[in-house]
Structure 1
Amino acid sequence: MRSASDFPARHRFVLAAARLLITLRHPLLVVRFARKMGYWPNPAAPERYNECMLWRRLIDHNPLFVTLSDKLAVKEYIRAVCPELEVPKTLWRGRDPDDIPSALLEGEAVVKANHGCDMNIFVSGGQPDRASIVRQLRRWLGKRQGRRNSEWAYWPIVPEVFVEEMLPLAGGEIATEIKVQVCSGVVCHVRAEDKEALKSRLFDPDGNPLAGRDIDYPREIRRCPSPPALSN
């Protein structure tokens, strides 16, 4: 986006008024942003990446975001726009955790809720046990994601739980999460995070490490090694 200083004076006045209005309407989010990031955001004319993410939550209510935030609906969307891309198979889905077939919880699988983040249970060899899984799923089904942070795209999603195949991970060490960041249809960078070791690192699309740290793990000792999967 263009910098606010690039606009004519009358446009800068409008943007300044919009910034004030947005800040007054969402004071807690703006203050929380400033405390975590170390600077005051301009959600009316964002320039930095995190400002753009704040702008997206507060201003850009593209209905497609609802589909992309729903872990089940996004699979159908990906199949429609990119049929050659494989996605993990959904082995079961439903509204009542008690209906999950017992056989699916005896092997290797991932149990998820579709309407939020950090709602994943990795099942291996019958552990965690079925009762623990059902209790956790019921808690998730009663939770509405995104209220605190104004993540509006989660709100219309009808909560469901589902069981997904667990993908085998190649290599001796691999990040527990790999995020591919796309800007205007182009991969700009990849973020690898080892949640057990509390480490992360940024890479370019070819798997080469990038300079800089992220706000979750800012110290250099929290820099994780390059995951083998990025070189494949």
Structure 2
Amino acid sequence: MKNLFYKFYHKTLFGNLIRFLYHLTKDRIWPDKLVVKVDYKRRLGKSLNLSHPVTLNEKINWLKLNNRNPIYTICADKLEVRNYISSKIGEEYLVPLIFSTKDPSEIKLERLPDIPVVVKTNHDSGGVFIIRDKNDIDYTKLQESLQRRLKINYYLKSKEWQYKNIEPKIVVEKLLMDSSGNIPEDYKLHCFNGKLVFTQVDLERHKNHKRNLYDIEWKRIPCRWIYENGDDIPKPLNYAKMKDLAEKIASDFTYVRVDFYIVSGSIFFGELTFNSESGYGKFIPDSYDLYFGKLLNIDMTSKKG
């Protein structure tokens, strides 16, 4: 039966028409819950259990559909989150801000400093432009790209509610670099119910993306999460400090991923993510989806199904 459905959905003209109409209309017409269920089935090949979620991906999707606290909107906003982080752990952990604006035409040669910067939008996933030399940029093309990004409501695509009401802006920050001039690795600390459970390290993201997961003792977790594993990464010298900072930030949330960079021994905050991989991240072996899910306690009292 499964093979027959696959052939109908992917190999027939009518099936292709259904898929086309779904993707054309899902952003604005289909209910969030239905879109999430369909996308989960399409991405992971199994049905999403929202009545009794047990795996990590199921619980992330349940949280995606049920968390409606305004603090999530503030903390998903890459500009507004700076005030939240400053109040929780201190402004010394923030990447230096150059300026912010709503107008793409403000991103021009005379407004940028004589240092490498990153230009990004505050309201979506992606939308990052790295400028190492401000004299070597096509500003018309960059402004046009930013204008297109500002018109995107990422919630319509992802159904991640926290992005729905963010006012789109452009943020210009200093570009963090290591002693070799490379962008430093970022450490993504996944916190469940205010406590660190595992750390994600992504490698060679712009070449041959690989990913390792480490437990709280910095032992490699023997699984893959979407990407193949890479070479082992030594535990950061200030790992204990990162863990402490992440748990202070995570104390307000059921589940959150806290990203940090380390540059010359100093820790810098990256961003907060509340629905990692949008709840569609495949684990190999699949048992780790259940393993991590059992460690996350979500509030079931207001569950609607």
TM range (shorter): 0.7 to 0.9
Higher relative contact order at CA 8 Å, sep ≥6: structure 1 or structure 2? 2
1:116 maps to 2:124: yes
Q: Which moved more, 1:151-160 or 1:118-127?
A: 118-127
Distance 1:131 1:172, change over 3 A: closer
Shift of 1:149: 2.3
1:35 maps to 2:46: no
1:130 maps to 2:139: yes
The corresponding residue for 2:149 is 140
The corresponding residue for 2:89 is 82
Equivalent residues of 2:123, 2:168 under 8 A apart: yes
SS at match of 1:146: helix
1:187 maps to 2:196: yes
| Matched residue count | 204
**Identity over aligned pairs, percent:** 25
The corresponding residue for 1:53 is 60
1:116-152, CA deviations, whole angstroms, 9 ceiling, x for partnerless residues? 1111111112344322321211111111112122111
Aligned residue runs from structure 1 range 1-232, under 5 A: 26-83=33-90, 86-100=93-107, 102-103=109-110, 104=112, 107-126=115-134, 127-169=136-178, 176-194=185-203, 195-196=205-206, 197-214=208-225, 216-217=226-227, 222-227=228-233, 230-232=236-238
SS at match of 1:148: helix
What letter is aligned with 2:117? A
SS at match of 1:98: helix
Shift of 1:230: 3.4
Unaligned runs of 5+ in 2: 1-30, 239-305
Shift of 1:205: 3.5
1:161-185, CA deviations, whole angstroms, 9 ceiling, x for partnerless residues? 0100111235798875432111111
Equivalent residues of 1:192, 1:200 under 8 A apart: yes
What TM-score do the two structures reach when normalised by structure 1? Answer: 0.78
Distance 1:229 1:147, change over 3 A: farther
RMSD (Å) for aligned C-alpha atoms = 2.5
What TM-score do the two structures reach when normalised by structure 2? Answer: 0.60
Q: Which moved more, 1:156-165 or 1:97-106?
A: 97-106
Distance 1:230 1:172, change over 3 A: farther
Runs ≥4 in structure 1, deviation > 4 angstroms? 170-177
What letter is aligned with 1:54? N
